[in-house]
Structure 1
Amino acid sequence: MVLQRIFRAVIMGPPGSGKGTVSARITKTFGLQHISSGDILRANINAQTELGLLMKSSIDQGQLVPDDVMSRLIMKDLRAMDQSSWLIDGFPRTVSQSEALDNAYSVDTVINLNVPFQTIKQRLTSRWTHLPSGRVYNVDFNPPKVSGFDDVTGEPLVQRDDDTPDTVMRRLKAYQTQTEPVLEYYRSKGVLETFSGTETNKIWPHVEAFLLRKLSPAKQNVA
């Protein structure tokens, strides 16, 4: 689908909710640029940029990356695609970051994936990761072609320490505490759309239909 106007969206959801899969489908179907805060963070740390070094210092000390550092980092990438339609994944994570984004850009919609914690716990404890690229596999529904090895490089996969059951539940509760104010912020602005379910393939048609409805008036106006 070719967009007739600039469209900007944010996708939210706890770790393991299927954000990566849904993001890939949105960007492919609607031609949006995908901006992953995790990818940007890794790239800046690897390149040892000024912001990357600041972030690495926070991470090494077990701290969250400060809001202003994270916001500066994302805004730098957004300015480079000023006239593009985009989907941001992994940002904003606090109300302060949401306000920084709003001060620079108008967000058309915020897609929130609401997946039960028990479903996510099952997914994440079956998850294996290719650490250098961040590619993630799941032995239940997205297994690698060769068990234990990355499809692209053939390098070994590992199970991250934070994918153990107890750690997963702690991460999910921390996400809920941190992001509920962000969801409320966008809910109050009338741009939050929540999609609930236990399977990404069943959630996706609803997300797609919503975006088609959201974007169809722009097509009619141009015609």
Structure 2
Amino acid sequence: MRLRRAARVILIGAPGVGKGTQSERLLSRFPQLSAISSGDLLRHNVKNRTPLGIKVEHTMKTGGLVSDNLILRLITNELNTRGWLSGGRPNVMTLSSSAASELSSFDEPAVASRGMDPFLSSLELDPNAGARLSSQASEDPSASFLLDGFPRTAPQAERLDDIVPINWAVSIQTPVDVILERISSRWVHEPSGRVYNTSFNAPKVPGLDDVTGEPLVRRADDSEDVYRARFRKFQETSEPLLEHYAKKGVLWEVHGHSSDEISPKLFREFERRFL
């Protein structure tokens, strides 16, 4: 199934709604979609000691929030490296170019002492750069991606629009009581991250991991009080975000009680829009 135009997709939904499952299924069904995760990009830069990774490593280790400017720079560089933005700045601090390995050998204090700041975003240096990039975002079907982890707020979405406009924002809606029932039945094998659910994906032996036979545990945040607090926080930030994409005419809502109920609806709408 070949796409007729670039799909630039984000999934929005409350914690536990199944965004990860739907992302995996979309990527599997539509191979032209690529996954771009802001978290993965950050971890890759930290692991490979790129200048950007050095910049954010301390912030991540101390539990701080990486600035929107740096996340946007990560995404811009990744898209530019893949050739999905034309007319942009040279490939500096990207993940897949030789520039990343060359810059990663820079000594940060030495760079700073020479008055150069390789971490400054091109959007900071040139306020018109974003508009230029947005106008030249590739519409080739090969430039299709599912963006994970960003944007989470309306201001972030507005900044992202200046770089590459999202053309399908999916709001996944599942009743809170259904999600609470789901997480109350969830057990995990901490060393591997394998997840079980006694309602629909139970372990072969109750309380034990299928592979190792080791005990399963409950996540500390899998409690009703913790979840409801997270849900309230999600509502506060998501409502303006959903409104932003609704005004742009790219918001689509899908309702369902399970991932298996939601996926067919998601596939049909994706095909209607992009095939």
Q: Same fold (TM over 0.5)?
A: yes
Q: 1:49 to 1:115 in 2, by over 3 A?
A: farther
Q: 1:169 to 1:11 in 2, by over 3 A?
A: same
Deviation at 1:25, TM superposition (A): 1.4
Measure, in 2, the Cα distance between the counterparts of 1:143 and 1:50: 44
Q: Determine helix, strand or coil for the equivalent of 1:39.
A: helix
Deviation at 1:57, TM superposition (A): 4.4
Q: 1:60 to 1:150 in 2, by over 3 A?
A: farther
Match of 2:209 among 149, 170, 180: 149
Q: 1:121 to 1:64 in 2, by over 3 A?
A: farther
Which amino acid in structure 2 is aligned with residue 180 of structure 1?
E
Give runs of aligned pairs for residues 64-213 of structure 1, distance below 5 A: 64-81=65-82, 82=84, 84-129=143-188, 136-143=195-202, 148-149=208-209, 158-213=217-272
Q: Determine helix, strand or coil for the equivalent of 2:36.
A: strand
Measure, in 2, the Cα distance between the counterparts of 1:154 and 1:51: 41
Which amino acid in structure 2 is aligned with residue 175 of structure 1?
F
Deviation at 1:54, TM superposition (A): 5.4
Alpha carbons 1:150, 1:157 under 8 Å: kept = no
Q: 1:143 to 1:174 in 2, by over 3 A?
A: same
Q: 1:92 to 1:154 in 2, by over 3 A?
A: farther
Q: Which residue of 2 aligns with 1:34?
A: 35
Alignment gaps of 5+ in structure 2: 85-141
Residues 32-70 of structure 1: CA distance to partner in whole angstroms, max 9, x if unpaired? Answer: 012233433444455555545655544555554432233
Measure, in 2, the Cα distance between the counterparts of 1:62 and 1:74: 21
Residues 158-181 of structure 1: CA distance to partner in whole angstroms, max 9, x if unpaired? Answer: 433222221111111111111111
Alpha carbons 1:68, 1:97 under 8 Å: kept = no
Q: CA RMSD in A?
A: 2.9
Q: 1:123 to 1:104 in 2, by over 3 A?
A: same
Q: Determine helix, strand or coil for the equivalent of 1:161.
A: coil
Q: Taking every aligned residue pair, what percent have the same amino acid on both sides?
A: 42
Alpha carbons 1:54, 1:69 under 8 Å: kept = no
Alpha carbons 1:37, 1:89 under 8 Å: kept = yes
TM-score by length of 2: 0.66
Q: 1:36 to 1:159 in 2, by over 3 A?
A: farther
Measure, in 1, the Cα distance between the counterparts of 2:54 and 2:187: 27
Measure, in 1, the Cα distance between the counterparts of 2:214 and 2:74: 30
105-114 or 116-125, which moves further after superposition? 116-125
Measure, in 1, the Cα distance between the counterparts of 2:81 and 2:201: 33
Deviation at 1:183, TM superposition (A): 0.6
Q: Determine helix, strand or coil for the equivalent of 1:2.
A: coil
Deviation at 1:127, TM superposition (A): 2.8
